[in-house]
Amino acid sequence: MRPTQPPTGERLVIVGNGMAGHRLVETLLARPERPAKITVIGAETAPAYNRILLSPLLAGEMERDALTLRNAEWYAEQGIELVLGERVETIDRAARRLTTDAGRRLGYDRLVLATGSNPARPPVPGLELPGVHVFRDLNDADALTRAAETGRNAVVIGGGLLGLEAAEGLRKRGQGQRGMQVSLLQRDDRLMNRQLDLTAARLLESELRSRGLDVRTGAQLECLEDGSDGRVCAVHLADGTRLPADCVVVAIGIVPNAELGRIAGLEVNRGVVVDEWLTTSDPAIHALGECCEHRGRTYGLVEPIWRQVEVLADRLCRPATERIAGYVEAPSATKLKVSGVSLYAFGPTEPEADHEVLSYRDPQQGDYRRLLLRNGRIEGAVFYGDTAAGPWYFEQALAGTDLSACRQALLLGAADAQALLDDAATDSPTSPVKEAA
């Protein structure tokens, strides 16, 4: 029998009031068996907000308030202690006590690390100069907004999801002011090389160029130049190109923020190592979100993190002796949040020898679809333009559905393909409909 009363006196402390930490709070509150006392400590001064929406915020498509997930009053009403603007610096595992940079000391029975990640920085001279930014939190979005409104030239380093959203955001923000010129540097031969095949990447590139973005693929960064005022003034590429820049954004990827776990002596590889119940090498300490590492994998999208939250909430609410399902990896799909560009992709970008490739392209409508199939089952897809059916294909891929029966309609969209699948199921000699007929 599951207990219905909160275990008395159990104190849970969550480090990090970001997307994972906050989602865990909401999930625990929905369960009667939740820990009796919950404290959340966040280094940022703002209560949890939707980090994903920093991109539309930068682009001027959303107001700041719309990002807030819950305000401090809500936490107080739920009886949750919320400490903001303090960074946890040390964990004394033997005493089960942590200390913040403000000197606050706090005991815990269970601790959750949800400290997210830090932007990766390439080892390039000049990266420490004023005028060089990252794009991770509200302060960064504010700084970039100011730069777009006052600067002339920006260079964004990194042609992945984040770099593209930062570049488009700066370009849109800069419009109508002095008209900021934005260059986007991508080391690979194509944008979003982890998600897109060459055709979709070229379509994206030409759309962004038509908007005025200076997209440079195959760009090798050499160094950043400081101006007479000590601020960054240009970016140099290995081919000798000099791009003037009063604002540089580094968006080449993320590194799990596992420092606290490392200091505490937990097992840390790239992230804080956890098992399938999100437990670290110390049974009283858990980790989830971008700071953790599970079976060698680290995270950068919220979808797997939401599934981690469910597992950890179970783990925190049920007795250790009760069997609960652990966290398992599953593929994720990617969407780009650049208004006017619809893009949906999952699975491998390049076909393997035994993949079948089905593709469809309508240059007039700007539509492109490409499916990678193995034995009639979808393993990867790229949709550019009309992406409405993308989630249906992703569902079929996750379910491992044999789509041979609807092959001729596969590229026409979900409704046609599903109709043929339904027909095939009805006609099948083993189908219940057939048997009843």
Ligand X SMILES: Cc1cc2nc3c(=O)[nH]c(=O)nc-3n(C[C@H](O)[C@H](O)[C@H](O)COP(=O)(O)OP(=O)(O)OC[C@H]3O[C@@H](n4cnc5c(N)ncnc54)[C@H](O)[C@@H]3O)c2cc1C
List phi, psi (to 5°) of 249.
-115, 125
Distances (CA, A) of 8 to 3, 77, 313: 12, 20, 17
* Residue 62 touching ligand X (CB under 6 A): no
**CA 101 to centroid of chain Cα atoms:** 28
Query: Which residues have CB under 8 Å from 395's CB, separation 6+?
Result: none
- 102 or 198: whose CB is closer to ligand X? 102
Window 250-279: contact mask with ligand X (x via CB under 6 A): -------x--x-------------------
Which C-beta is closer to ligand X: that of 166 or that of 233? 166
> Rounded distance, CA 8 to CA 128, Å?
49
Compute CA distances 186 → 163, 202, 237, 333, whole Å.
Answer: 9, 13, 11, 22
Find the residue with minimal CB distance to ligand X.
Answer: 18
With CB under 6 A as the contact rule, the residue among 12, 13, 14, 16 that binds ligand X is: 16
From candidates 168, 205, 214, 290, binder to ligand X by CB under 6 A: 290
Question: Is residue 59 a contact point for ligand X (CB under 6 A)?
Answer: no
| Position 280 contacts ligand X (CB under 6 A) | no
Exactly one of 172, 337, 369, 370 binds ligand X (CB under 6 A); that residue is 337
Q: Rounded to the nearest whole angstrom, what is the least distance from the CB of residue 304 to ligand X in the complex?
A: 9
> Contact between 343 and ligand X (CB under 6 A)?
no
Restricting to residues 17-46, which ones interact with ligand X according to CB under 6 A? 17-21, 41-44
CB within 8 A of 289, min separation 6: which ones? 16, 18, 19, 20, 21, 114, 115, 116, 299, 305, 308
Which region, judged by CB under 6 A, interacts with ligand X, from 49-57, 197-205, 373-381, 421-429? Answer: 49-57
Structure tokens at 293: 């590492």
Q: Report if residue 88 touches ligand X, rule: CB under 6 A.
A: yes
Sign of the alpha-carbon dihedral angle for 417, 422, 426, 431: positive
- Region near ligand X per CB under 6 A, out of 62-70, 71-79, 113-121, 346-354: 113-121
Q: Nearest to residue 23, comparing CAs of 55, 48, 52?
A: 48
* CB contact at 8 A, 167 and 191: no
Applying CB under 6 A, which of residues 35, 47, 56, 116 lies at the interface with ligand X? 116
Of the residues 51, 187, 318, 407, which one makes contact with ligand X according to CB under 6 A: 51
Nearer CB in complex with ligand X: 104/434: 104
- Pick between residue 115 and residue 145 the one whose CB is nearest to ligand X: 115
Binding site for ligand X (CB under 6 A): 15-21, 41-44, 51-52, 54-55, 87-88, 114-116, 135-136, 162, 257, 260, 289-290, 300-303, 305, 337
